[in-house]
Amino acid sequence: MTQEQDRAETVSLLQDLGLKEYEARCFIALSQVPSATAKEISDLSEVPRTRVYDAVRVLEAQGLVEVQHSNPQTFRAVSVDEAASTLRQRYDDRIETLETYLDDIDIEDGKSTEQMQEVWSLTGHEAIESRTLELAENADSEIVLIVVEEDILTDALLERLEAAMARGVDVIVGGLTASTVARIDAVLPAARSFETDLEWLVSSEDGSAVAISRLLLVDRSNLLVSSYYPSGGSDESVNEQAVFANGLHNGVVVLIRRLVSSGLLPARDPAQ
């Protein structure tokens, strides 16, 4: 990636975090030098000089730029660490505000989400990972996780599973191979682990078929099944897609629950 591409990507990311384009470009310019006048900022950022003053005033108000009232005025950006902390706090504050507003919105017709028994699809690794973490975090009694692709055992997921066990949730984790089970035993020694030996969950050797990556059943009523599938392009990349279903009597959940109970899990010790 060229320096120009890096700059364009940085501008885009700053815009995602709430800055306007000129503000982002001015901040990047100031981050390159110890300090600069409006003219120097304009030359570095290619922002019209008449717009530089408006941009740096906004940046100053947001705690990203400091001003020296000399003649001419001189501006400097705060450190990268300080800027990152400021932007992160603004982002977190917006998320908290959004959660508050969404919580205050009544569900149409007074229907409770717990009463709904539906099936939804999720696309993209980040969305699927987020839902996986949410389900594990909200588990009350039991988490059953079948790991087909070992890379789904992220640090964040392992932390959620450990936290669940700490609050008394039964955690049962199955792996497709002995090596996966060995890793599960190493990082989650308090969990029940077993080898599933379900080769049919894996795609064909050339990667042309869909492959199940995880199966998560929480409290016997919340189900998430994800899979990898070829992107269809000229490269060898894959995409991830999942199905999420909830409801104790949801047909999909019932089917998977019975499959898990009858064939995927090792038999319990009668003495337990």
| Whether residue 48 sits in one domain with residue 124 | no
Domain count, the chain: 2
Q: What is the reported pLDDT for 269? A: 42
Q: What is the reported pLDDT for 64? A: 92
Domain boundary among 86, 101, 132: 86
Q: What is the reported pLDDT for 272? A: 41
**Distance between CA 41 and CA 36 in Å, rounded?**
6
Q: Which of 212, 222, 215, 210 is nearest to 119 (CA)?
A: 222
| Whether residue 126 sits in one domain with residue 260 | yes
Q: Phi, psi at residue 240, to the nearest 5°?
A: -125, 135
Per-residue pLDDT of the chain (272 residues; tens, 9 = 90+): 688 888 889 999 999 888 999 999 999 999 999 999 999 999 999 999 999 999 999 999 989 999 998 888 899 999 999 999 988 888 888 888 888 888 777 555 444 444 456 778 888 888 899 999 999 999 999 999 988 777 888 889 999 999 999 999 999 888 877 888 888 888 888 888 887 766 655 554 554 555 778 889 998 888 888 887 765 554 444 578 888 888 777 777 777 777 666 545 554 443 44
| Whether residue 222 sits in one domain with residue 147 | yes
Q: Which of 176, 183, 220 is nearest to 201 (CA)?
A: 176
* 131 in a structural domain: yes
Residue 144: CB atoms within 10 A of its CB come to 24
Residue 199: CB atoms within 10 A of its CB come to 8
Quote the domain boundaries for residue 54. 3-86
Q: What is the reported pLDDT for 55? A: 94
**Distance between CA 114 and CA 117 in Å, rounded?**
8
| Whether residue 77 sits in one domain with residue 124 | no
| Whether residue 125 sits in one domain with residue 232 | yes
Q: What is the reported pLDDT for 138? A: 93
| Whether residue 72 sits in one domain with residue 129 | no
Can you give the pTM of this predicted structure? Answer: 0.58
* 40 in a structural domain: yes
CATH number of the domain residue 158 falls in: 3.30.870.10
**Distance between CA 175 and CA 203 in Å, rounded?**
16
CATH number of the domain residue 49 falls in: 1.10.10.10
